[in-house]
Chains A and B, each alone.
Chain A
Amino acid sequence: MFKRLLRMGLIAALFSIVLVGCSKNNSGSKSYSSNEISVMVPDWGAPTQKMLDQFEKESGVKVNMQPTAWDDIKSKVSIASNGKQAPADVFEVDWSWMGEFQKAGWLNKVDVSKNDVNDIPSLATFKAGDDYYAVPYSHGIRLLYANKKMLSDAGIDQMPATWSDMDKDMKELKDKKIVKYPLQFPLGAEENATTTFLTYAYMRNGVIFNKDNSLNKKSALDTFKYIDNAVKSGYIDPNSVSTGGMDTYNGINSGKGAILIGPSSFIVSSNNKKVSKVVGQVEPLKIPTNDGSAPKSVAYTEAVGISKFSKNKKAAAKFVKWYSSQKVQKQLYKSLNNIPTRSSVLQELTDNNSIKNGKVLVDSNKLLTMPFPNGIPDNYGKLSSAIFNTVNKVGRQKMTPEQATNSLAKQIDKLNKD
């Protein structure tokens, strides 16, 4: 009798598990009260608990942080939003996701003041039509980094200002055997190869995509030729084709390379004893120009946006406003080394020497433009994959610059057609 009861109990328990598994969940994220929100950002963007407590005290809004791996955020947002659920009330919007998220209708408009628009030039990346859909919190301005000690050892006193200066410097560094591979350029098949290619092409030629979103072949060919020549001349480590982009960038901090065009975070990390072997040696500079051309800069910035399906949009808007405020940007820089997106904050941190050599950041921030004439495309994922795989093939000498240009142009035309 007891055994029979036990069996029946086990069967009932199994049924319950199945039924619970099949039950309808009413919300993708936890349902909070109107004064409670969830925020999904990578761990490098998560404010400290002290900051969040202060925000709760000021606004009455409790924040539940969901630090999430950057790679996972896009799929979490997509899957939840397809089910018309909020993955979180506020979530990370990387510049490269803006086109897809906005077109799919997953982002709520955010209110920004005229002052915000003037103070945060990278806001333009997150604008569609007349509206803004996310507010940048961590800057990704591209800068030129040069190891002035290595340059000096090669007998170069003047920092490179033009592309031809940079080429001459790399040759000197190589010929005088100051460093085996002077240029740190990511060639691995991943996102950093794409952003670096876009940066070089755009900054060297002022254009990379035509107005109809097709590839500007002249600019692409020039850049592929540049990469091809740099690999053949031994300026770039050929093993970069198998290394992660961040590992290649980090070569500037380990002293493996002397020149890098990379993210603004290296302005801080190159002077951090914990991660840099060349403290005090790396000078951040504006990206070179062609002789006589007007300077400009590009940035690949991270922002936060509000889910269209959030049930607490007012509280979420309060958080976004607080999170992108001057005060919080300063705190985020101090606690997480996040490079502020506000010109005023960059200026203040430069003036009080919190950011060493910060003037270049302030100046570059005023010159921001975007390589995409019609905004970030909604098929950026596929576009990026086509670019980094082509760059990788040129790096591996599997394609000539001409073949790479034609192949990439064809792939982009097909993407535009689809």
Chain B
Amino acid sequence: MFSCFNMEGKIVRNKNLWAAILLLPCILIIGGTVFLPIITTFGYSLRDMNLTEVTTNKFVGFENYRKVLTNPDFRDALMNNLTVLVLVIVLGLITSVFVGVVLNNSSRFGSLLTAIVIIPWALPPLVNGIMWKFIFFPGYGLLNKLLMDAHLINTPISWITSRSLFLFVVAIIIIWRTVPFCAILILANLKNIPDTYAESFELEGGSRWQIFTKITLPLLIPSLGVVLINLTTSAMNVFDEIIALSGYQSDNASLMVYNYSTIFNFLDFGMGSATAYIIMLLVGIVGYFYVKNMTKNIKV
């Protein structure tokens, strides 16, 4: 049925048509669940649309975007996200490489350590948040207790009441949750680097540090690209940890918390959709440069 005749009169399948038919269900599903909501959300973002104010639902153009961008709470949330993003990328990247190298070198307990390391990655973010809240609880959290027992501090530190410390704690939690997966990626990459490279470099008089910086690190670049994307998306999408640690406190909100609050607490779908589009645009710009850079590396 999906076939045609060639020059010799033989029946051959029309491969393009067949492929299109096979792809159609997938296109419909993705179109219906991804692209349709994206288009619908854009439509909402141009309307004054609060669910509890049914009478005010009207087209307002880009007014919602203006309101969001001039809202101090949005700017606070953006700054919080950027701070967390920088901390997560810098500390997360260093930790991921370190853990990956340690796992690669610990041949005796390698499998056991890998299994242990992966546990935080498997925990739901909200559970992570609650667990770390007990650790960093301002009064008598575990960390304060340990520091006081060790006589390093006299009075408990308010880890999550100060905004800067709070963002640092959030970054630590994200790193703790994300590093296992990143480290496994790096470990897989390290396993594929032949030992002969290092051995020949060593014969030429290269030190271990030189082997790492001149041989290992450049060969890790493809997986570091994926690790960067993973760390960036985790930092930009941070939500559960912030809710578990400080609820809907406007000073500490991330972009996701701000957006969730606008849509589901205030039921303001117009403003919430505009916020969602602004976030999508910001993440899209970062994502574009990452992907472009990765593609460039692959070509080289």
Contacts and interface: CB of A to CB of B under 8 A. Distances in A.
A385 B28 CA distance: 40
Interface string A229-240: 000000001110
A408 to B, nearest CB: 13
Contacts of A237: 139
A21 interface: yes
A11 B161 contact: no
A105 B138 CA distance: 45
Contacts of A388: 248
Q: Quick one: which of B22, B29, B51, B261 has the most chain A CB within 10 A?
A: B51
Contact of A385 (B22, B54, B138, B265): B265
B246 to A, nearest CB: 6
A39 B251 CA distance: 38
A231 to B, nearest CB: 12
Nearest to B48: A418
Contacts of B22: 11
Contacts of A392: 249, 251
Interface residues of B, number: 28
B77 to A, nearest CB: 13
B264 interface: yes
Interface in B27-59: 28-29, 32, 51-54
Nearest to A398: B251
B11 to A, nearest CB: 14
Interface in A76-97: 78-79, 82
Contact of B261 (A22, A105, A385): A385
B245 interface: yes
A389 B249 contact: yes
Q: How large is the interface on A (under 10, 10 to 19, 20 to 34, 35 or more residues)?
A: 35 or more
Given A381-B266, A385-B265, A104 B52 contact: yes
B223 interface: no
A239 B266 contact: no
Interface in B236-286: 245-251, 261, 264-267
A134 interface: no
A242 B161 CA distance: 7
Given A18-B32, A22-B32, A78-B267, A396 B250 contact: no
A378 B161 contact: no
A21 B251 CA distance: 40
Contact of A389 (B28, B52, B53, B250): B250
Nearest to A78: B51
Contacts of A15: 25, 28
B160 interface: yes
B52 A100 contact: yes
Contacts of B265: 381, 385
Contacts of B21: 11
Nearest to B263: A75
A14 B264 CA distance: 32
Nearest to B28: A18
Contacts of A381: 265-267
29 contacts: A14-B25, A14-B29, A15-B28, A18-B25, A18-B29, A18-B32, A21-B32, A75-B264, A78-B51, A78-B52, A100-B267, A103-B52, A104-B53, A188-B247, A189-B248, A189-B249, A190-B248, A238-B138, A239-B137, A241-B161, A242-B137, A242-B245, A378-B53, A381-B265, A381-B267, A385-B265, A388-B248, A389-B251, A393-B251
Given A22-B32, A104-B52, A242-B245, 9 more contacts: A14-B29, A18-B32, A75-B264, A79-B51, A239-B139, A242-B138, A385-B248, A388-B248, A389-B250
Task: Return the 7 tightest CB-CB contacts between A and B, nearest first.
Answer: A189-B249, A14-B25, A100-B52, A239-B138, A78-B51, A239-B139, A389-B250
